[in-house]
Homo-oligomer: A and B are copies of this chain.
């Protein structure tokens, strides 16, 4: 297989968010991780339902069953809730991608797995993806840029696979990796708009369908079509 650059060390960044320092000789009441987690969960729900700006921190603490004091004890600002949600999501996505890219698959098989993973995790974490696409720009410029960088690297990973497949003849060269990748990402980004858990297709089934669409679109052995118009 062709050389594909690994998508950076996300493990370090994960270590930059430790559960808590806990400096050996500790005093006072112990932290309650459930409080912090319930705040994040409530924020995610509400952000997905109403949007970031339309959700007040009061609504968040009410749904989480805590008070404002608790929220501002664990988070310095409302924006931090957004950032943490994104950070977790992107870290997982990047880790998944890295695992697939370093497993020695040929480009077609790797792309197949990436699409499968992307569709399934998107559906699993639909609220995050909803908020991600809509409210990411509400973060401060610096944080926004950092997340944007990761997301860009993810895209480049996918495009690298398409390019590699085009080089070795597995994929047609009739389209650019950019356009093809946006067909994939556009599809997954649209999942929050229409996916119904009780619909006829399972997440894996949707992934399979997208894979077959992509496979057909990139098929190099297609008979010469008579393009109309």
Which residues of B sit under 8 angstroms from A217, Cβ to Cβ?
213-214, 216-217
Which residues of B sit under 8 angstroms from A53, Cβ to Cβ?
51, 53-54
A-side interface residues, number (CB < 8 Å):
49
| In contact, B216 and A137 (Cβ under 8 angstroms) | no
Selected from B133, B189, B209, the residue in CB contact (under 8 A) with A179 is: B209
Q: Is A4 an interface residue (CB 8 A)?
A: no
> Bound state CA distance, A194 and B183, in angstroms?
12
Closest to A182 in B: B190
Give 1 or 0 for each of A178-204: 1 = CB within 8 Å of chain B CB.
111011011111100110000001000
Which of A15-23, A94-102, A220-228 is near enough to bind chain B? A220-228
Closest to A208 in B: B227
Distance of A102 from chain B, by nearest CB (Å): 17
| In contact, B138 and A51 (Cβ under 8 angstroms) | yes
Distance of A216 from chain B, by nearest CB (Å): 5
> Bound state CA distance, A212 and B216, in angstroms?
11
Copies of this chain present: 2
> Bound state CA distance, A209 and B181, in angstroms?
12
Q: Is A176 an interface residue (CB 8 A)?
A: yes
Which residues of B sit under 8 angstroms from A228, Cβ to Cβ?
108-109, 112
Distance of A196 from chain B, by nearest CB (Å): 11
> Bound state CA distance, A112 and B228, in angstroms?
9
> Bound state CA distance, A176 and B205, in angstroms?
12
| In contact, A180 and B225 (Cβ under 8 angstroms) | no
> Bound state CA distance, A194 and B108, in angstroms?
25
Give 1 or 0 for each of A80-113: 1 = CB within 8 Å of chain B CB.
0000000000000000000000000000110011
Given contacts A179-B213, A222-B222, 14 further A-B contacts (CB under 8 A): A51-B135, A51-B137, A53-B53, A54-B138, A112-B229, A180-B213, A182-B187, A183-B186, A183-B187, A185-B190, A186-B189, A214-B217, A216-B216, A219-B225
Identify 5 residue pairs between A and B in the complex whose beta-carbon atoms are under 8 Å apart, listed by A's number.
Answer: A134-B134, A179-B209, A179-B213, A183-B187, A214-B217
